[in-house]
Amino acid sequence: MSHVPVLLAEVLAALIPHEPPLRAIDGTLGAGGHTRALLERGAGHVLAFDLDPQAVALARETTAPYAARLTIVPDSYERMAEHARRLGWDGVDAILLDLGVSSMQLDTPERGFAFRHEAPLDMRFAEDGRLTAADIVNSWDERALADVFYRYGEEPLSRQYARAVVQQRPIHTTTQLAALIEQAAPRPRGKPAAKSIHPATRVFQALRIAVNDELGVIERTLPRAIDLLRPGGRLAVISFHSLEDRIVKDVFREAATEVVSPPGMASIRPKPATVDLITPKPIEASAEEIARNPRARSAKLRVVQKRGA
């Protein structure tokens, strides 16, 4: 199964501006492409995380020549600080988060992430996760479904689709759900069908985000990752849709903003900035990379650097 690391050159330039990091974390190991590149460039030791056992197995093969300098943990990157302490690390020099679902997961039909193959409605990153997409689709009420479709999929027809789901359930497979949404969708006008995204695209994105609490994990992890950085260390985050990127942008800007107490307003507590923005605007893939790897089309890379003590 092939895997192409997104924005690889840009990530390496961001995380290794000068000397290779002594300690680095890859929070989203995937097939191991970014991790292997960091090790090839001289990273002293990489601590890598992934909840997906299939990804972990593949990454162990990809990174086998560097196993002595690599620790792989089958856990969420949300607990990176805890695992770093277990290694005796008091801080790290570089952290990478490549957010969202991997192409490897999308291309594994039985995982239920994609609607182009028939599979159970699963969508869990971790096989031991309790909540599945089928649980949401078949047990949540119409209002809750509409809220999920709108908040996490930015789906303008969220109420219409939620009503259709409730009327037609139980729904057990990806193709069942996709066909139902397609049937409930209005017919596109003035746009060739081949160039239109499938009506179920945003619904599937929303369910995947809800099943894995993706946005909540990002919101909780970013401040912890910044705290874990040593002075001069860098955090790089690749996002693939506006909801993720908005969170990354807001957390980075807040961490880079110094708050002072105005005269006579002691209730406003001063807060020093903890990072500098290395990328005031996100880095995006080149036309050449997009031609080689279409998944890179929506990727945005944002980077911050920890301020000195």
Task: Among 162, 187, 213, identify where a domain stops.
Answer: 213
Helices 142-153 and 158-168: angle between axes, nearest 10 degrees = 140
pLDDT-based confidence at 308, cuts 50/70/90? confident
Is there a contact between 290 and 218 (Cβ–Cβ < 8 Å)?
no
Question: Is 279 a domain residue?
Answer: yes
Question: In whole angstroms, what separates CA 107 from the centre of its chain?
Answer: 17
One domain, residues 257 and 276: yes
Q: What is the CATH number of the domain that holds 73?
A: 3.40.50.150
Q: What is the CATH number of the domain that holds 185?
A: 1.10.150.170
pLDDT of residue 1: 40
One domain, residues 71 and 53: yes
One domain, residues 165 and 117: yes
Question: Is 253 a domain residue?
Answer: yes
One domain, residues 285 and 219: yes
One domain, residues 97 and 184: no
Task: Among 213, 243, 267, identify where a domain stops.
Answer: 213
Residue 137, pLDDT > 90, answer: yes
Percent of the chain residues topping a pLDDT of 70: 87
pLDDT-based confidence at 215, cuts 50/70/90? very high
One domain, residues 175 and 270: no
One domain, residues 154 and 14: no
Name residues whose C-beta falls within 8 Å of residue 281's C-beta, 6 or more positions apart in sequence: none
Residue 127 CB neighbour total at 10 angstroms: 11
Is there a contact between 8 and 33 (Cβ–Cβ < 8 Å)?
yes
Q: What is the mean pLDDT of residues 138-150?
A: 97
Task: Among 196, 213, 230, identify where a domain stops.
Answer: 213
One domain, residues 122 and 187: yes
Question: Is 1 a domain residue?
Answer: no
pLDDT of residue 110: 54
pLDDT of residue 267: 60
Q: Which long-range contacts (CB under 8 A, 24 or more apart) does 127-135 make?
A: 127/53, 129/211, 129/212, 131/210, 131/211, 132/211, 133/207, 133/208, 133/211, 134/171, 134/172
Greatest mean pLDDT among 61-65, 100-104, 194-198 lies in 61-65
More confident residue, 1 or 138: 138
pLDDT-based confidence at 284, cuts 50/70/90? very high
More confident residue, 67 or 189: 67
Q: What is the mean pLDDT of residues 97-110?
A: 67
One domain, residues 74 and 171: no
pLDDT of residue 271: 76
pLDDT of residue 254: 95
Residue 47 CB neighbour total at 10 angstroms: 24
Question: Is 2 a domain residue?
Answer: no
Is there a contact between 148 and 159 (Cβ–Cβ < 8 Å)?
no
Q: Helix or strand or coil: residue 46?
A: strand
In angstroms, the CA 77 to CA 178 distance is: 31
Is there a contact between 237 and 222 (Cβ–Cβ < 8 Å)?
yes
Question: Is 74 a domain residue?
Answer: yes
One domain, residues 234 and 209: no
Q: What is the mean pLDDT of residues 2-27?
A: 91
Q: What is the mean pLDDT of residues 254-262?
A: 80
For residue 157, give the DSSP letter. Answer: T
In angstroms, the CA 146 to CA 158 distance is: 5
Domains in the chain: how many in total? 2
Question: Is 3 a domain residue?
Answer: no
- Residue 46, domain extent: 8-104+215-306
* pLDDT tens digits for range 159-182: 999 999 999 999 999 999 999 999
Q: What is the mean pLDDT of residues 98-115?
A: 65
Strand-strand pairing, 275-277 and 45-49: unpaired
One domain, residues 267 and 279: yes
pLDDT of residue 252: 97
Rg of the chain taking only CA atoms, in angstroms: 21
Residue 156 CB neighbour total at 10 angstroms: 11
Name residues whose C-beta falls within 8 Å of residue 22's C-beta, 6 or more positions apart in sequence: 43, 44, 45, 93
Question: Is 79 a domain residue?
Answer: yes
One domain, residues 100 and 228: yes
Q: Helix or strand or coil: residue 208?
A: helix
